[in-house]
Structure 1
Amino acid sequence: MCRSIKTLREPYTPAVTDADVQAAALQYVRKISGFRAPAAHNAAAFDAAVAAVAAATRTLLDDLVVRSR
C-alpha cells in the first residue's frame, strides 16, 4: 500500500485533523486510480472518491474504541 499514509488512530496520532484525513484520502485515491492528478474529464469522479474516502475515514476514526492494555 502507499507508504506515505500514516496511522491516524490513537495512540499513534493523538489529534487527527481534517487535513490529515483529507491527505490520507487523497493518497489512497491516487494509489488506487494510478493518477497523481486526473484529467479534466475524470476530475469529478476523482474528487467524489476523495470526499467519500475522507468521510468513511472520519466515520471509522470516530467510531473506533481503543482499549487500554
Structure 2
Amino acid sequence: MCRSIKTLREPYVADPTAEDVRAAALQYVRKISGFRAPSKANTEAFEQAVDAIAAATQELLDHLEVRKQVPSAA
C-alpha cells in the first residue's frame, strides 16, 4: 500500500489525533486517485473522499478491541 500511512492503533500509537487520522486518509486518497493534489474540477470529490475515509478510520479505531499483552513470568 502506501508507506506514508502509519498504523494508528495501540501499541503503535497510544492516542491518534484527528490530524493523524486525516493525514492517513489524505495519503490513501492520493494513492488511490493517483493525484497529489486534485484539479479544481475534482477538488470537491477529493475532499469528500478524504472526509469519508477519515470518518470511517476514526469509527474503526474507536471500536477496535486490542488485547493487551501480559508480560510472561520468567
Task: Tell me whether the two structures share a fold, i.e. TM-score over 0.5.
Answer: yes
Unaligned runs of 5+ in 2: 70-74
Match of 1:42?
42
C-alpha distance in structure 2 between counterparts of 1:16 and 1:42, whole Å: 29
Which 4+ stretches in 1 moved above 2 angstroms? none
Three-state SS of the structure 2 residue aligned to 1:24 is helix
With the length of structure 2 as denominator, give the TM-score of the two structures.
0.91
With the length of structure 1 as denominator, give the TM-score of the two structures.
0.97
* Equivalent position amino acid for 1:11 in 2: P
C-alpha distance in structure 2 between counterparts of 1:13 and 1:31, whole Å: 22
Match of 2:13?
13
- CA deviations on 1:37-64 (whole Å, 9 max, x unpaired) are 0000000000000000000000000000
C-alpha distance in structure 1 between counterparts of 2:52 and 2:25, whole Å: 8
Three-state SS of the structure 2 residue aligned to 1:61 is helix
Q: Which has the larger radius of gyration?
A: 2
* Equivalent position amino acid for 1:25 in 2: A
Bigger relative contact order, structure 1 or 2 (CA pairs below 8 A, ≥6 apart): 1
- CA deviations on 1:8-54 (whole Å, 9 max, x unpaired) are 00011011000000000000000000000000000000000000000
* Equivalent position amino acid for 1:59 in 2: E
Count of residue pairs the alignment pairs up: 69
Match of 2:72?
none
